[in-house]
Amino acid sequence: MSDSKKVTFTINGKKQQVTVSPDMVLIDLLRNDLHLTGTKQSCDRKGQCGACTVIVNDKAVKSCITKVASIDGAEVITVEGLGTPDNPHLIQEAFVLSGAVQCGFCTPGMIMATKALLDQNQNPTDADIKKALARNLCRCTGYTKIFEAIHMAASFIRGENTPEKVRAAIPNKPMGVSHPRPSAMLKATGQAKFGADYYIEGALEMACAHSTEHHAKILSVDISEAEKMPGVVGVMTAKDVPGTNVIRMMVPDEPILCSDTTFKYGDAIAIVAAETRAQARAAAAKIKIKYEPLKVMRTSREAIAPDAVPIHPFGPNLCVTMPLKKGDAATAIKKAAAVVEGNFTTQMVHQSPLEPEVTVCYFDGDELVVLGRSINIHAAKAQLSEALGYDKIRYEEPYVGGQFGIKATLSTEQVCAAAALYFKKPVRYVPNIDESMWLSSKRHPFDMDAKLAVDDKGIITAYDIDFYVNTGAYMTVAFIPVSRALNMLSSSYNMPNIEAVGKATYSNDGSGGAARGAGPPQACFALESLIDMAAEKCGIDALEFRRKNSLKPGQGKATGMIVKQWEFTDMCDLIKPHWERAKKDVAEFNKKATGDIRRGVGIAANSFGIGDPGDKGQLAVEVDPDDGITIYAAIADPGEGNDSMLTQLAAHVLDMPMDKIRLYTRKTDKTVGMGPAAGSRMTFMGGGALVDACEKLKAAMDEAKTKTYKGLKAAGKPTRYEGTKVSPGEGRPDPKTMQGPSMTTDVHNIQMAEVEVNIKTGATKVIKITTAVDAGPVINPQAFTGQLEGGMDQGVGFALREIFDGGKTKDWVTFKFPTINDSFKTEIMVKETPRNPGTLGSTGIGEMTMVSTAPAVTNAIYNACGARINHLPATPEKVLAAMPAK
């Protein structure tokens, strides 16, 4: 091209000369031409996320907005040039040893921004770190361990500490120890391959044409202009999709490509396959779709209103109804000394993993290989096979950049697989950030009418709640948030009388799906708000009110299931001195305050159920010829720490070094279905199955008096052993009352939030969150606290900022993704009471702090300024409107 430019620069110590167009950005050169895929892309060239950070002439820059033409003569360093797994940089060592690497997608950018900072300042303050990493986003950690990693790296660089000293302090045993995650160093050095890092020779790139209507008839789809665009191989519409063209989760209702109706903004209507991604996107923009708008119903109440119309032809908009009845709530409420009540709503939220919803499909013979991002790979494979009418599918999962429930459902796998089957070629789909948001499921909005009754001593006598769950355009997993909210409805408390009905409705507002906690976070917001209101009405301290109403062994949960152990009051005792200190601090601050800032402290609790009755987990372990052990388990680890859990448990039970344990966990070909890595179930179910398999193997080794492959063979023993765990509980709950078997065990949490509220603007800032938790013996403390800290951060976003609005939420700025400047101090207190049905006494922990954070924050807002927030998120406008008149 006449306007192309020759650019010479040095990259990772090697001189390069390239000829580029004036518009080419550095990230495209690095990833597409030089195949340096350690540099990641999330925000689609908007400079919002920092995942693409590299160093140019000693300064951290966003490579997605840096023109290649501007770096002539420059020295560029990417994460690959900083260090390797065998010879890592001190910063990479620090991120691994501090536990700052979870999913790992943001890690390379974080590390490069840290390198630029520490090159200039070897003793940074937290304020310095916030300034340097202000545009580097992380969804997993809540940033706490990012701070710890940078301070550790600085101490290494100053020579005050060394990685060797840190490693030497790690106890030489598998259990209860913060061993670095198995994949952490690969992620820290940019060697771990995520979906978009895979390049298949001859693969087509694809793009979709999406609906711009929330609900409409599709009158015509004109692809003629798109077909003529440069590089286009072909265009396909619904008529070209093989099979049923419908994804079934609970019911078959989600088209792969919409044919005659679009049900939500962003639905896929056509696919363009081209030689390059840019060509595919340009051609997709030329597809002309004509619509006839239909009635739009974006809330549950709109969807069941008298003038509502059915969204799908096969049934009403009300798609799930589940009652729960325990005792006689109506009579108890009539006799109550006090009743508090309200309407509470929570919003649709994008789970917001940084990695785009990438899928790559290729053929291995006649087998279609789908490289996707699922936490339930066997279910994903089955759904694709049914919808596409093609049984020969192998599902594989690369490293995954976070998920938080979003990958319990398909997002882009179905359109990519359909294209691969239609064009009979490998296909790669790397969607933009807005497309990733349109095509993926979201946290369900709840609309709850609730009342809580107490007697004259402040003891809860009844709870009454009716709630609607907005499942959006497709049912997906709508049954789950309804049933889980009801199962855990009484949370930490003894409630002798409950009347509840949970309903789910279709709407035209996005598509609901699994999200961290899946139901209890929404229900807990209503309950914990009412608990605070009741405590105030009774004149009882908020913590004492919760403690005196705690469930006790021998009493029944909302489902009537009798508990045998209940550690919640221990959590109250752990947090009490912090609560008393915070109340005193707040009172003293507000007494002296003369400006616009007021402080508040709030508390909230939850007891989260683990282990659905009759749930089953299964896997296998096998002794390899070199005497190592391979675990074959369909257990995803998109950042939670399941790889560490599996490795450390196996090493403990078999009394073997951890480096002899191998994992085969992300492919369907040699594993069996394990169910979703969601709801905090993997340590409980997957870990339990692993212990069973390892104990069988250990018994065989003990009997044969050998730990070797050859020894087992010589003794006539198998080298492969299956493991199974079945969660206790038989039968089903009564469908009219939901009384019956419930979650096998529970984890407990009580959380305290300290906030500042600007009474002039309504803006709220979280200063600190303190939490007390008991989830049984901790396998890896660093991974454990990392999950808790990340849950707190997501809970604060849920409370204050985050909302997904189809057609308006387009990127991380419009979503209000939490940055490091939104971070806050955390303090965690842990009690490790063994659970009888747990995995060596342990359970899962992923959801605890997510569930109780939002009501702790809104209760703190009320304490600060008198604004009772019933409708999330607690935006400045809502806080101002809720403040009592002066």
- Helices (H), strands (E): how many in the chain? 26, 32
Whether cis (ω within 30° of 0) applies to the bond prior to 873 is: yes
- Report pLDDT for 732: 86
Report the pLDDT averaged over residues 813-824. Answer: 96
Contact partners, residue 126, CB within 8 Å, separation at least 6: 147
Per-residue pLDDT tens for 593-610? 999 999 999 999 999 999
Query: How far are the Cα atoms of 444, 452, 475, 784, 814 from residue 503, in angstroms, in the given order?
Result: 12, 20, 12, 34, 30
- Report pLDDT for 698: 98
Say if residue 809's pLDDT is above 90: yes
Residues in a beta bridge with 602: 753
| Reported confidence tier of residue 846, pLDDT bands at 50, 70, 90 | low
Q: How far apart are CA 85 and CA 738, in angstroms?
A: 53
Q: Which two tokens stand for residue 90?
A: 């001190």
User: Kind of pairing, strands 512-513 and 442-443?
Assistant: parallel
Q: Are 410 and 370 in contact (CB under 8 A)?
A: no
Segment among 235-239, 432-436, 535-539 with least mean pLDDT = 432-436
Q: How far apart are CA 845 and CA 315, in angstroms?
A: 38
Q: Are 568 and 604 in contact (CB under 8 A)?
A: no
- Report pLDDT for 768: 98
| Reported confidence tier of residue 136, pLDDT bands at 50, 70, 90 | very high
Segment among 297-311, 420-434, 683-697, 842-856 with least mean pLDDT = 842-856
Q: Which two tokens stand for residue 364?
A: 């291995």
Q: How far apart are CA 779 and CA 877, in angstroms?
A: 43
Contact partners, residue 759, CB within 8 Å, separation at least 6: 596, 597, 598, 865, 883
Q: For residue 480, which of 442, 519, 434 has the smallest C-alpha distance? A: 519
Report the pLDDT averaged over residues 804-832. Answer: 95
Q: Which two tokens stand for residue 811?
A: 């990127």
Longest dimension (CA), the chain: 86
| Reported confidence tier of residue 204, pLDDT bands at 50, 70, 90 | very high
CA dihedral 58, 61, 63, 68 (to 10 degrees): -60
Report the pLDDT averaged over residues 18-36. Answer: 96
Say if residue 174's pLDDT is above 90: yes
Q: How far apart are CA 56 and CA 586, in angstroms?
A: 46
User: Is the alpha carbon torsion for 577, 578, 581, 586 positive or negative?
Assistant: negative
- Report pLDDT for 2: 59
Q: How far apart are CA 134 and CA 128, in angstroms?
A: 10
Q: How far apart are CA 315 and CA 478, in angstroms?
A: 15
Q: Are 51 and 37 in contact (CB under 8 A)?
A: no
Tell me if the pTM is above 0.95. yes
Q: How far apart are CA 312 and CA 314, in angstroms?
A: 6
Q: Are 603 and 541 in contact (CB under 8 A)?
A: no
Q: How far apart are CA 249 and CA 374, in angstroms?
A: 14
Q: For residue 42, which of 434, 396, 375 has the smallest C-alpha distance? A: 434
Q: How far apart are CA 722 and CA 619, in angstroms?
A: 6
Residues in a beta bridge with 291: 218
Residue with tokens 């675990």: 631
Residue with tokens 């298949």: 200
| Reported confidence tier of residue 328, pLDDT bands at 50, 70, 90 | very high
Q: What percent of the chain has pLDDT over 70?
A: 100
Report the pLDDT averaged over residues 651-675. Answer: 96
Q: What percent of the chain has pLDDT over 90?
A: 95
Residues in a beta bridge with 346: 446
Average pLDDT of every residue of the chain: 96
Report the pLDDT averaged over residues 8-29. Answer: 96
Q: Are 302 and 318 in contact (CB under 8 A)?
A: no
Q: How far apart are CA 56 and CA 112, in angstroms?
A: 10
User: Kind of pairing, strands 232-236 and 825-831?
Assistant: unpaired
Q: Which two tokens stand for residue 427?
A: 């296909």
Query: How far are the Cα atoms of 379, 381, 636 from residue 395, in angstroms, in the given order?
Result: 10, 6, 12
| SS3 assignment, position 270 | strand
| SS3 assignment, position 526 | helix
- Report pLDDT for 666: 95
**Which residues carry out catalysis?**
847
Q: How far apart are CA 295 and CA 83, in angstroms?
A: 57
| Reported confidence tier of residue 729, pLDDT bands at 50, 70, 90 | confident
Radius of gyration over every alpha carbon of the chain, rounded to an integer in angstroms: 27
Domain annotation for the chain: domains and CATH numbers = 1-191 (1.10.150.120), 197-296+351-442 (3.90.1170.50), 541-556+568-607+744-886 (3.30.365.10), 616-726 (3.30.365.10)
